[in-house]
Every structure is written in structure tokens, then in C-alpha cells.
């Protein structure tokens, strides 16, 4: 039998487990922020699974950066609206 290739979702779950001790050592507010970063990774599982990289951390980082950029763009629009208003 051939070897089964894990899905990116399974790989992401393994990464979560690897980072568990780090997360657990954070202060509560930081821990919640860290969890939100991991949730950002989950939002882009489909896109991440297309990359076929040996290092899932790259896809995770890009997912986090994408979500942060979207938040920055949203805040900029809000500021522009406030400045105009």
C-alpha cells in the first residue's frame, strides 16, 4: 500500500499541537491573540493546501499576513471616512 498524504487541515492540527506549550505559557490576553492567529490559518486551509510546501509554517504565515492586511485596509477605510465626515 502507498503512503497516505495528510491534508493541510491535518498538518495544521499537528502544528497546533507543536505550539501548545508555547501558547500555554503566554499570558491570557496573548494566548487569545495567538488563538486568533491560528484561526486565521484555518480560514485559508483551501489555498494553503494548493501550495504543496514541505514547510507548513510558510502557508500559515501568509494566511496570518493576509488577514492582518485585510484588517489594516479596513481600518484605513474607516479613518478616511472619519476624516471626510
pLDDT of residue 4: 86
pLDDT of residue 33: 98
pLDDT of residue 54: 85
Angstrom distance (rounded) from CA 43 to CA 36: 11
pLDDT of residue 1: 62
pLDDT of residue 60: 96
pTM of the model: 0.86
Residues of the chain with pLDDT under 70: 1
Amino acid at each position: 500500500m502507498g503512503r497516505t498524504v495528510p491534508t493541510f487541515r491535518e498538518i495544521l492540527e499537528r502544528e497546533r499541537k507543536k505550539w501548545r506549550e508555547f501558547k500555554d505559557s503566554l499570558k491570557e490576553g496573548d494566548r487569545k491573540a495567538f488563538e486568533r492567529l491560528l484561526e486565521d490559518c484555518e480560514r485559508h486551509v483551501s489555498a494553503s493546501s494548493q501550495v504543496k510546501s514541505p514547510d507548513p509554517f510558510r502557508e500559515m504565515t501568509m494566511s496570518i499576513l493576509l488577514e492582518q492586511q485585510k484588517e489594516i485596509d479596513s481600518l484605513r477605510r474607516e479613518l478616511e471616512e472619519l476624516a471626510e465626515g
